[in-house]
Amino acid sequence: MIMGPGLRKLVRTAHITCTVGWLGAVAGFLALAVAGMSSRDEQMVSAAYLAMEVITLYVIVPLSFIPLLLTGPLLSLGTPWGLFRHYWVVVKLVISILSTLILLVHVQPIRHLSHAAATGTLSPADRSLQIQMVFASSAGLLALLGCTGLAVYKPRGMTPYGWRRQYEVELAPTDSNKSN
């Protein structure tokens, strides 16, 4: 199934918007995590961790699911790239799935830090969680930048499935080659 140009542009626009938004939200989250971990101002720390929970629940999580479950598969299935035909698409899909899973694992620690900051019970015992937020968001940002690079450069290399599909298309009779 190949999409028409108008629909393909609409889906591509939604995909790019969501992935760039996801990347930007993770960069903002990283800035808040660094501020929360390094600041000595109690109000700044509290504000950073409260904002981290909001940005995670209402921006990062939704923006991670839209390209993963909706626009990405639509683009790959509705364009010649295919979902499993090229290694760069498969790698991008795997990175996106892992990034989303790791994000979901970190929702509970983010909520813990936010609650501790809101109630004024943030303690030195929470230091490991603070460090974990900086490292996790740094890794997430690098992963998303890697996905962006793959989408822009589209390195060569077809999967075995892609080679089979290409061979099948080359062998398929066209309307002009069909005999009556």
The confidence band for 152, taking pLDDT boundaries of 50, 70 and 90, is very high
Name the residue ranges covered by the structural domains of the chain: 5-169
pLDDT of 150 above 90: yes
pLDDT band at 116 (very low <50, low <70, confident <90, very high): very high
- Which pLDDT belongs to residue 132? 97
Q: What is the pLDDT of residues 120-141, one digit of tens each?
A: 999 999 999 999 999 999 999 9
Long-range pairs, 159-167, Cβ under 8 A, ≥24:
159/84, 159/85, 159/86, 159/87, 159/90, 161/84, 161/85, 162/82, 162/84, 162/85, 162/86, 165/82, 165/85, 166/85
**pLDDT, averaged across the chain:** 91
Q: Which phi and psi angles does 86 have, rounded to 5°?
A: -120, 140
What pLDDT is stored for residue 178 in this prediction? Answer: 54
Q: For position 168, what pLDDT does the model report? A: 77
Residue 177 has pLDDT above 60, yes or no: no
pLDDT of 66: 96
pTM of the model: 0.87
Query: Is the confidence at residue 29, as pLDDT, over 90?
Result: yes
Q: What's the CA gap between 73 and 69, in Å, rounded?
A: 7
pLDDT in tens, 4-23: 889 989 999 999 999 999 99
